[in-house]
Amino acid sequence: LNDGMFVHVRRMLAQMPACDVALLLQSTPVAGRKILWQLTDPEQQGEILEELNEDAMESILKMMDPENLAAATEGMDIDDLSYVLRSLPADIYQQVLEQMDSEERHRVEIALAYPEDTAGSLMNNDTIALRPDISVDVVLRYLRLRGELPEATDALFVVDKDNKYLGDISLARLVTVDPKEQVAAIMGKRPERIIPVSMHEGQVAQLFERHDWISAPVVDPNGQLVGRITIDDVVDIIREDAEHSMMGMAGVDDDEDTFAPIWQSTRGRTLWLAINLLTALMAASISNLFENTLAQMATLAVLMTIVPSQGGIAGTQTLAVVIRGLAVGHIGESNTRWLILKEVAIGVLNGIIWAIVIALVVTLWKDSIQLGLISAAAMFADMFMAGLAGVCIPLVMKKIHIDPALAGGMVLTTVTDTVGLFAFLGIATVLLNHHIAI
Amino acid sequence: LNDGMFVHVRRMLAQMPACDVALLLQSTPVAGRKILWQLTDPEQQGEILEELNEDAMESILKMMDPENLAAATEGMDIDDLSYVLRSLPADIYQQVLEQMDSEERHRVEIALAYPEDTAGSLMNNDTIALRPDISVDVVLRYLRLRGELPEATDALFVVDKDNKYLGDISLARLVTVDPKEQVAAIMGKRPERIIPVSMHEGQVAQLFERHDWISAPVVDPNGQLVGRITIDDVVDIIREDAEHSMMGMAGVDDDEDTFAPIWQSTRGRTLWLAINLLTALMAASISNLFENTLAQMATLAVLMTIVPSQGGIAGTQTLAVVIRGLAVGHIGESNTRWLILKEVAIGVLNGIIWAIVIALVVTLWKDSIQLGLISAAAMFADMFMAGLAGVCIPLVMKKIHIDPALAGGMVLTTVTDTVGLFAFLGIATVLLNHHIAI
């Protein structure tokens, strides 16, 4: 690229499918991305935009003017288009809307009226709807006249004259039944397959995953067909959801673009580091309470970090299991109590196991049974708390609508650090104050 | 359930679709799972097994005898069946195979011959193959004669007389073209869509995700069609992959069943806690080197945990971004150098920012500019190392085929703990040894 072989690159890009160009753009640092983007075929730009992830898309949208944007977005699927528009700054957004023809603008405005993260913002309106009283033969003739079908069409929907959803016919059924059959006679009803327009996208994804759907109809509160959701959009949500948990627990924004500029990435990670510094200072202020004890016996300073570290890991394990259970919908009212008891029991078991281990290690290392017993007591207390906090924190957060994947880890380690330090240094202080040699 | 209303529950279960029964089983502690399973319709058991995740499935397989198992697995899709068989102990596995009729056994043995985690173990052999020289009309008549199509069939495959894969025809195309057309004239070629039987399942998932496929043909090294992979199996892989990263980083086996018995869960988490204890002891042995310094000044003990904590978080952030980038295939030879430079630069920037912050906080708190400066120097060193280690550890692990999601976090925090403690206590020791008041 540095050789200035622009013509060559341009030809190469034009021959690649949009999804590969998108992958290439996402794997390129932002500076190079700009050049690459200018070399892409303007006709293909809409398709490429659809395939990009949020952060990479924003980095590219920023360098386009509204006119080019309106041109590039022409012919985009309505769900992708509204996704692009939602991520634009308000003024550019208005300008792009103005550049569109009125029919397109109308379509987009309807899609944008649905709240983000709901089935409404996820759906496409490229449904093919049939009446129940026609024969399969007529349907086939209609389809042949129509030509191509929208992407990921595995079923046609059946509606009455008020556009109320009645059922569906899969293409597989359409090609295997007798052409003389009536649509009404062969359509599937499956009321559990109908998705209300206001359903949360996470729930939509769970349904698709559980039932192995390829597409599903979306209806408004009156039961009228308003669009359909296809598996390719659901796959993106499943990937995003799962990434969100992982990145959230690691303290990074899940939209972070791997190849974003340095300053942007640093800024995005600052909040989490600031919060962590506060919790680290809190832990330090706990040991600060015991400064006299630490001054009497430096060995305590050496050993005091072991218990909180082990408690933090045990708590994080429980936290991860519970967050995953919540995400895939396995945890509900009926089994919460059982789950809490289970994780607390694991905490107790872990407490016993690691108390024994640490007692042996410390006694042998520091040649002091007292230090071994103090470590063991602190370890037991911290492992117990780790189990309890690990299961309760995400459950409570979920109840009060805080995302446990984001805040759970920090709160948890604050708890395990506090308990671990307090128990260890507290017991040691009591013994020292009673002039018991340790 | 405790009321003994077995008949009632049995009727309820029989009316639920298999995927909902599976969800119910997975949301039930193992003891209750046993009772529920006995109440399910034996005819439906195969279908339910298909829908369970690995650990839950194992807990149920354990309580079935080989005869029932062979009966339950009859009619299962071949990919699911071989998945079930792979998770059985060797002796039961043999017994189940013996219970099958010879044709079924032959089919299974072929599927089991493909290594796990490859396209071969993922595929189904329920393909519908056409010859290129027939007309669409003949195809449609054949399909009507045949009746139902296999699940998630969106395309039929075209093969020559040696079963060599030639191309595909989507159902959508089949219902929109002129019935007089020849198959050869309307089939899609798309060589990039052909999946070699030995391709790794992660790569298969990336291809499906990028190209929005619903199904794809699998061919052997001779180019012969051997099966097809469908999106529903790919969705499971995407979910598992993403969960694997999250659970792995938290130190839990990603197969861990949320409702497994207490002892089983505790055992599964022991290895990670044991490794962590070793690293915690390593960190303690570093502070142990500085015991004299700590004895001279207990304030150092109070402050020494802050820098490693902050370094650990910064490193984990980088680690998560790199692991995600590797998982989705955005990181390759060409951009590795750029990525390392970027993350190191972020480390330097973070180092400057948090060194200034900690210098101010410590100076004000402990009323000592020297302590502030020591903290700042240690913070800078640790943040720099966090960036470097956070990006290099997963890249090196990937190269030597260790899973960075599993081992990366532990290795990383060992590095950041070591560097943070060494820098902080080391500088303080040097100053104290030179009789400089801090």
B231 and B166 within one domain: yes
Q: Give me the helices (H) in B100-200, please.
A: 102-113, 119-122, 136-146, 171-174, 183-186
B36 touching chain A per CB within 8 A: no
pLDDT exceeds 90 at position B190? no
Backbone angles phi, psi at A296, to 5 degrees: -70, -30
A65 and A157 in a single domain? The answer is: no
* Domain final position from A182, A208, A230: A230
Same domain membership, residue B133 and residue B88: no
Please indicate, yes or no, whether residues A84 and A153 belong to a single structural domain of this protein.
no
- Choose the closest CB to A306 out of B20, B281, B309: B281
Flag whether pLDDT at A216 surpasses 80. Answer: yes
Q: How many Cα neighbours within 13 Å face the side chain of B183?
A: 24
What are B124's strand-pairing partners? B228
Per the prediction, chain A carries an average pLDDT of 87
In a domain? residue B234: yes
Q: Say whether A298 and B303 touch across the interface (CB within 8 A).
A: no
Sort out which chain A residues have CB atoms less than 8 A from B414's CB and list them.
none
Indicate if the pLDDT at residue A2 is higher than 60.
no
Residues of chain B found within 8 Å of residue A152, distances taken between Cβ atoms? 212, 214
Distance of CA A136 to the CA centre of its chain: 42
In eight-state DSSP terms, residue A149 is P
Dump pLDDT digits (tens) for A170-187. 999 999 999 999 999 999
What tokens does B1 get?
Answer: 């359930």
Please list every residue in chain A whose beta carbon sits closer than 8 Å to the beta carbon of residue B263: 349
Stretch A209-214: mean pLDDT, rounded?
Answer: 87
Whole-angstrom distance, CA of residue A126 vs CA of residue A150? 6
Residue A197's CB is within 10 A of a number of other CB atoms, namely 19
Nearest to B242 among A175, A234, A246 (CB): A246
Contact A425, A290 (CB under 8 A): yes
Look at residue A250 and tell me if it is in a domain: no
* Three-state SS at A151: coil
Q: How far apart (Å, rounded) are the C-alpha atoms in residues A175 and B427?
A: 78
Distance set, CA A381 to CA A344, A385, B69 (Å): 12, 6, 45
> What residues have CB less than 8 Å from B43, skipping those under 6 apart?
none
pLDDT at residue A86, rounded to an integer: 78
A46, two tokens: 């809409």
Band of pLDDT at residue B2, cut at 50, 70 and 90: low
- Domain span including residue B29: 6-116
The amino acid at B60 = I
In a domain, B124, yes or no: no
Q: What is the pLDDT of residues A111-147, one digit of tens each?
A: 788 888 899 888 888 888 999 999 999 999 999 998 8
Helices A231-250 and B201-211 pack at an angle, to 10 degrees, of: 120
Total domains in chain A come to 3
CA–centroid distance for B229 within its chain: 18
Q: Order of strands, edge to edge, in the sheet holding B195-196?
A: B195-196, B215-219, B225-230
| Best residue of B30, B330, B368, B416 to probe chain A, by most A CBs closer than 10 Å | B330
**Residue B68 belongs to domain with CATH number:** 1.25.60.10
Does residue B101 sit in helix, strand or coil? coil
Those residues with Cβ within 8 angstroms of residue A291's Cβ, 6 or more apart along the chain or in another chain: B298, B299, B301, B302
User: pLDDT value at position B9?
Assistant: 80
Last residue within a domain, chosen from B222, B247, B272: B247
Pair (A266, A402) in one structural domain: yes
Select from A249, A288, A252 the least CA-distant residue to A397.
Answer: A249
Higher pLDDT, B435 or B414: B414
Of the candidates A318, A336, A315, the residue with the CA atom closest to the CA atom of residue A412: A315
pLDDT surpasses 70 at B4:
no
What mean pLDDT is predicted for residues A178-198? 89
| Residue B420 phi, psi (nearest 5) | -60, -50
What does residue A88 show for φ and ψ, rounded to 5 degrees? -90, 150
Domain annotation covers residue A191: yes
Average pLDDT over residues B406-422: 92
Question: Residue A29: is its pLDDT beyond 90?
Answer: no
**CB < 8 Å to A300, chain B:** 301
Over 70: is that where the pLDDT of A438 sits? Answer: no
Place of tokens 């097994």: B49
Q: Residue holding tokens 């935009």?
A: A49
Give A322's pLDDT tier (boundaries 50, 70, 90).
very high
Return d(Cα B113, Cα B78) in angstroms, integer. 12
- Between B72 and B323, name the one with better pLDDT: B323
ipTM higher than 0.90?
A: no
CB contact under 8 A, B291 and A298: yes
Distance from CA of residue A175 to its chain's centroid? 38
- Which tops the pLDDT comparison, A102 or B130? B130
Task: Identify whether residues B276 and B423 lie together within a single domain.
Answer: yes
* Whether residue A139 sits in one domain with residue A48: no
Mean pLDDT score, B172-181? 92
Beta-bridge mates of residue B165? B159
Percent of chain A with pLDDT over 90: 47
For A295, the 3-state DSSP assignment is helix
By C-alpha distance, which of A379, A360, A234 is closest to A313? A379
Nearest CB to A176; choose among B149, B177, B335: B149
A60-64, B288-292, B383-387: which has the minimum mean pLDDT?
A: A60-64
Domain boundary among A101, A119, A137: A119
Distance (Å, whole) CA B55 – CA B422? 43
DSSP state of B182: B
Name the more confident of A39 and B370.
B370
Average pLDDT over residues B317-337: 87
Residue among A382, A435, A434 at smallest CA distance from A413: A382
- Judge if A272 and A391 occupy the same domain: yes
> What is the model's pLDDT at position B3?
54
Establish how many alpha carbons lie within 13 A of residue A312's alpha carbon, considering only the half-sphere containing its beta carbon.
23
Inter-chain touch A320–B266, beta carbons under 8 Å? no
On whether the CB atoms of residues A153 and B172 are closer than 8 A, the answer is yes
pLDDT in tens, A391-405: 999 999 999 988 888
Same domain? A278 vs A425: yes
pLDDT at residue A3 in the model: 54
Quick one: closest CA in A to B390, which residue?
A250
Q: Which of B187, B193, B147, B189 is nearest to B171 (CA)?
A: B187
Helices and strands, counts by H and E, chain A: 22, 6
**What residues of chain B lie within 8 A of the CB of A330, using their CB?**
23, 26-27, 258-259
Residue A88's nearest CA partner among A58, A50, A49, A118 is: A58
Considering the domain boundaries, does residue B34 fall inside one? yes
User: Are residues A155 and A115 part of one domain?
Assistant: no
Residues B314 and B356 in one domain: yes
Q: Is residue B256 part of a domain?
A: no
CA atoms within 13 A on the CB side of A314: 39
CA angle A246, A251, A256 (to 5 degrees): 80
B314 falls within a domain? yes
- Which of B258, B287, B301 lies at the smallest CB-CB distance from A330? B258
Name which of B17, B246, B265 is nearest A245 (Cβ-Cβ): B246
DSSP-based three-state secondary structure for A130: strand
A371-380, B84-93, B243-252, B260-269: which has the minimum mean pLDDT?
Answer: B84-93
The H helix count followed by the E strand count for chain B is 22, 6
Q: What is the DSSP letter of B237?
A: H
pLDDT digits (tens, 9 = 90+) for A42-95: 778 888 887 887 778 878 887 777 777 777 777 777 777 777 777 777 777 777
Mean pLDDT of chain B: 87
Decide: A384 and A351 in contact? Cβ < 8 Å.
yes
Q: What is the pLDDT of residue B39?
A: 83
- Residues B109, B136: one domain? no
| Phi/psi at A389 (5° precision) | -70, -40
| CATH number of the domain within which A405 lies | 1.10.357.20
Q: Is A208 on the interface with B (CB under 8 A)?
A: yes
Rounded (10°) angle between helices B78-86 and B66-73? 160
Amino acid at the residue A371: L
Which of B130, B148, B193, B239 is best to mutate for the A interface (most A CBs within 10 A)? Answer: B239
CATH number of the domain within which B163 lies: 3.10.580.10
A187, part of any domain = yes
Is A277 in the B-facing interface, judged by CB distances under 8 Å?
yes
pLDDT of residue B84 exceeding 60, the answer is yes
Q: Residue range B166-191: average pLDDT?
A: 90
Identify residue A95 by its one-letter amino acid code. Q
Could you give the C-alpha distances from B255 to B55, B146, B189, B235, B269, in angstroms and in order? 6, 40, 39, 16, 12
| Distances in whole angstroms, Cα of residue B45 to Cα of each of A209, B17, B234 | 19, 11, 23
Element holding A226 (H helix, E strand): strand A225-230
Cα–Cα distance for residue pair A373/B215, rounded to 1 Å: 61
Distance of CA B246 to the CA centre of its chain: 8
Q: What is the Rg, in whole angstroms, of the alpha carbon atoms belonging to chain B? A: 29
